[in-house]
Amino acid sequence: MLEKVRYEGAYPTHERAEEAVRLVLSGLGRQLTGDERVDLAARLPLEAARVLAAQVPDAQPLTGWAFVKDLAARSGASLATTRWDTGAVFAAVAAYAGPDLTARILHQLPAGHALLFGRPELTQAA
C-alpha cells in the first residue's frame, strides 16, 4: 500500500508516504461506521487496517472539505498538501476496497468525499 501511495502522491521517501497514510486513514477511521468500516479493514493490509480500526468514529461525520481542514489542523500542514495527501491515500484505499465497497463507503459519507476519492460528486436534482 505504501508504494502505491508513494507513487500516486509522488512522495520522495517511504517515510513521507507513511505519514500521509497514517494521517488520512486515522481520519477515515473517525468517519466510517458499521459494515463499511469492517469490510474496508478486512481488505486493507494489516498495518493500515490497524490504523483505521484504532480510531473511535465521530458522532457526526465531516463533509469532504471539513475532513481535509480537520486533517490539516491535526497535522499542521497546508490545506493544499493535506488535500493532495488525501487524494493519494484514497486512491490506494479505493484500489483495495474495489468499486462496490468504495460506492458503499461514499454512500455513507457526507458530500464532498467522492471528489477526494477521484470520483465525480453525483447529486440528485431537488
Mean pLDDT of the region 103-126:
85
Cell of 79: 490545506
Does 126 score more than 70 pLDDT? Answer: no
Over residues 20-66, the pLDDT tens digits come to 999 999 999 999 999 999 999 999 999 999 999 999 999 999 999 99
Residue 124 has pLDDT above 70, yes or no: no
Question: What is the sign of the dihedral through the CA atoms of 106, 107, 110 and 111?
Answer: positive
Question: How much is the pLDDT for 122?
Answer: 63
The C-alpha atoms of residue 102 and residue 94 are separated, in whole angstroms, by: 6
CA 24, CA 68: separation in Å to the nearest integer?
9
pTM comes to 0.93
Length of the chain, please? 126
Confidence at residue 120, expressed as pLDDT on a 0 to 100 scale: 85
